[in-house]
Amino acid sequence: MNIISIILLLWHIVISCCYGAATTSAASAPIAKPNCTTHCGDVAIPYPFGIGPNKDCYLDESFQIDCRHNNSTTSANYSRQVPFLKSVNLELLSIFRLKMAGNRCEGKETRQPQNLTGSPFIYSRTANALVAMRCDLFARMISDHGPVSGCGSFCESIKDGNLAFVEVLAVAEVLFNI
């Protein structure tokens, strides 16, 4: 997983923590705080990210964006603004939400999508859900401290044995931060 994917994943987690269950529409993403710059060039900069030096515009230094001029184009008279995540000096092409999901993982153990130990990010106590889709499936989430959540779906067999069009959705709230 590259650094941009990790940053975007963490942004999704923070937005979920701060604003409740996040929608998947990019148009509904929260934008910058009042009196803070909303864009750097063509890139929207939503809170908790923010353009410095005003410390009220971003959550903490991990989210500070430097809006820099980039002159590396074919036209000598053209300069565009590009956002850089200051803490890692990395240019951001866009900021969007990622869904965390695993599929076709029957019989396989998977790990949590990202280890957040030592970072300013946490999994929300109220805004996360563990979802299991399909018949006869059990899903669980564990941490270093033990089980966090689990859910399952159990379906009765259909006479012709065709379960291709039957999907059962089971949802369990994540019980506490991991």
Identify the three-state secondary structure at position 5: helix
Can you give the residue ranges of every domain in the chain? 3-91, 129-173
Look up residue 74 and give its DSSP letter: S
> Average pLDDT for residues 55-75, to the nearest whole number?
79
Per residue in 68-87, pLDDT (tens digit) is 987 655 555 566 888 888 87
Per residue in 131-144, pLDDT (tens digit) is 666 666 667 766 66
Q: CB within 8 A of 110, min separation 6: which ones? A: 102
Look up residue 1 and give its DSSP letter: -
Instruction: State the pTM of this model.
Output: 0.41
Give yes or no for a contact between 85 and 75, defined as CB atoms under 8 angstroms apart.
no
Quote the CA–CA distance of 101 and 149 in Å, as a whole number.
Answer: 15
- Look up residue 34 and give its two tokens: 């009042």
Per residue in 91-147, pLDDT (tens digit) is 777 765 444 455 445 555 555 445 556 655 555 555 555 666 666 666 776 666 776
**What backbone torsions phi and psi does residue 64 show, to the nearest 5 degrees?**
-75, 130
- The residue among 178 and 33 whose pLDDT is bigger is 33
